A and B are shown apart, each in its own frame.
Chain A
Amino acid sequence: MKRIKIEEASEGDVLAKNIVLENGVILLSKESILTNSIINQIKKQHIYYVYIKNNTGSANTSVDVSYLNNRIIENNLSDTEERFILVSNIKLMEDIKSIIKDVVLQEYQR
C-alpha cells in the first residue's frame, strides 16, 4: 500500500483504502479502479492523498510514487525529530521516539 498525492494518481491505480468524506459517507470503496474522470471527482472533494495498492500503474508512475514516498517519509521523520527536542536527554523519551520512527517507516514499506 502506498499513500500518494491525488495529482500523482493515474488511470488503472487500485484503491487500497476507502475514501471517506468529512460527513462520513464513503466516496469510493477500496479495490475501486481509478479512471481520469474518477480522479477529477476526487479532486473536487478537496481530497489530497489517496492510498493505492502497489504494483499498479505503469513503471513510470511507480518511480514517481517511490520518489514521493521517500519525501513523505523524510518529512515525517524530521517532524518526529523536531517534536522531541525538549526531551532528547531522557532515555525513555528517546526510546519512544525510535519506536515511532519505526512505525512510520513500516507504514510505507508495507
Chain B
Amino acid sequence: MKKDKFDEIMSAIKMTDSIPSLPEVIYKINSLMEDDTVSVNYIGNLMTKDMSLSAKILKIVNSPFYGFPQRIYNLNLALVLLGSNTLKSIIITSSVFDLMKDIMKGLWEHSLFCGLTAKYIAKQINKNKQLIDEDLVFSAGLLHDIGKLIIAIQFKDDFDSIIKLAEEKKQIYSEAEKKVLDVSHAEVGYYLTKSWNYPASIYIPIRFHHDFMMLYKNENITKNYNVKSIADNKNKDKPYFSSNYVIETAIVNLSDILTKSLGIGFSGSIYVDEIKNEIMEILSIDLDFLKKIIEEIYYFKDELTVFN
C-alpha cells in the first residue's frame, strides 16, 4: 500500500526543528545577506567563527575541480567572488550532509560530484557565450537530492524500503520511490529550497531533475530552442535571461546521470537512468562533448576525499 505522506512531509518541512539542525550561523547569514546595509566583512567574520565550516568552504573553492582561477584564502573574498547563493549552498549542504553520513553513506559525495560536474558542463557550454550562471547550477547540483535527507530522517522505514526495493527489483531510485510514497524527493527538495528563499534558477532544476520532459512540455519548448540558437540571437549588450530554467534543469539532470554512471558516491540506487535526446538537443551537445567531459571529471574523483 502506498502511503499518502504529502501533508506529513510538508509539515515536517515547515517545522524546522525536525530537519537536522542547520547551524545557527546559517540563519544569521541568511538574514544578514538580505540586509544591504550589512558589510561583507561582517558576514565573513561571522562565518570565520565556525572553523570547520570555513575550512570546508575554502577547500571546495580552492579545489582544481571547482576551477576558480585564483586561490582564495579568506572568506570575505570568497563571499564577494562566489556570491551569497553559492556560499549558502555549500554551507547548507556540508552541514546537513555531515549529519547524514551514517544514515546514507555516499550521498554527500554524489551531491558534491554532481554539483561540480554541473558547473564544469556549464563552463564548457558557456566558453565565450556566457549564457549560464555557473555558480547557480553548482548550487542546484549540490542540493538536488536534499529532499532525500528529509525523507530519510522523517520516514526512515519508508526510505529503507525504497532502497531495498530499488536493489531487489533493479530499479532507479525514483521508480522505487513512486511505489512507496506519494511525494517525491524532488518535490520535497523544491519546497524546502523555496522556503529557504533560494531563487527559481535553483528550485526549478531541483523539482524537475527526474521529470525533465514534464518541464519541457509545460514550457512548450520546441526544437528551435537550444543553447546554439539562443547564443546566435542573443543581444551582445544584454545578458541572457530565461524564465523557464530548462537549460539549468537539463544540466543538473545530465550531471546526476553522469555521476551515477561513474559510480561516484551513492544516492539510493546504483542504476543509471536514460539521458533524453531532448537534453542533448537543448544543450546543443553531442557524444564527443560528453566524452571530453567524462575524461575530465573522472580524474577529479580522487579530489573528493579532501572534502570529507
In the assembled complex, B24 has its CB within 8 A of some CB on chain A = no
CB distance from A20 to the nearest CB of B (A): 6
Q: B298, A84: Cβ atoms under 8 Å?
A: no
Q: B291, A83: Cβ atoms under 8 Å?
A: no
Q: B277, A92: Cβ atoms under 8 Å?
A: yes
CB distance from A55 to the nearest CB of B (A): 22
Which partner residue on chain A sits nearest B303 by CB separation? Answer: A20
Q: B275, A86: Cβ atoms under 8 Å?
A: no
**Interface of chain A, main secondary structure:** helix
Segment of B12-20, B77-85, B197-205, B265-273 engaged in the interface with chain A:
B265-273
In the assembled complex, B262 has its CB within 8 A of some CB on chain A = yes
Given A83-B271, A92-B277, 17 additional A-B pairs, CB 8 A: A22-B305, A24-B59, A80-B261, A83-B270, A83-B272, A84-B272, A85-B271, A86-B170, A92-B274, A93-B272, A93-B275, A95-B287, A96-B258, A97-B261, A100-B294, A103-B298, A107-B298
**Chain B interface residues toward A at CB < 8 A:** 55, 59, 170-172, 258, 260-263, 270-275, 277, 280, 287, 290-291, 294-295, 298-299, 302, 305-306, 308
A-B contact count (CB 8 A): 63
A101 to B26, CA, bound (A): 42
Q: Which of B55, B258, B261, B299 contacts A84 (CB 8 A)?
A: B261
Residues of A with C-beta under 8 A to B258? 96
A99 to B272, CA, bound (A): 15
Residues of B with C-beta under 8 A to A95? 287
A95 to B302, CA, bound (A): 24
**A: contact size bracket:** 20 to 34
Residues of B with C-beta under 8 A to A103? 294-295, 298
Residues of A with C-beta under 8 A to B270? 82-83
CB distance from A25 to the nearest CB of B (A): 10
| A78-94 CB contacts (< 8 Å) to partner B | 79-80, 82-87, 90, 92-93
Q: A79, B275: Cβ atoms under 8 Å?
A: no
Residues of B with C-beta under 8 A to A82? 270
Q: In the complex where A83-B260, A83-B261, A107-B298 touch, is A99 in contact with B271 (Cβ < 8 A)?
A: no
Residues of A with C-beta under 8 A to B294? 96, 99-100, 103
Residues of B with C-beta under 8 A to A90? 274
Residues of A with C-beta under 8 A to B277? 92
Residues of A with C-beta under 8 A to B295? 99, 103
Residues of A with C-beta under 8 A to B287? 92, 95-96, 99
Q: B262, A22: Cβ atoms under 8 Å?
A: no
Residues of B with C-beta under 8 A to A53? none
Most buried by A among B272, B290, B294, B299: B272
In the assembled complex, A17 has its CB within 8 A of some CB on chain B = yes
A74 to B274, CA, bound (A): 24
Q: B261, A24: Cβ atoms under 8 Å?
A: no
Which partner residue on chain A sits nearest B292 by CB separation? Answer: A99
Q: In the complex where A80-B263, A86-B172, A99-B291 touch, is A20 in contact with B306 (Cβ < 8 A)?
A: yes
Q: B263, A83: Cβ atoms under 8 Å?
A: yes
Residues of B with C-beta under 8 A to A86? 170-172, 271-274
A32 to B301, CA, bound (A): 22
Q: B274, A24: Cβ atoms under 8 Å?
A: no
| A36-95 CB contacts (< 8 Å) to partner B | 79-80, 82-87, 90, 92-93, 95
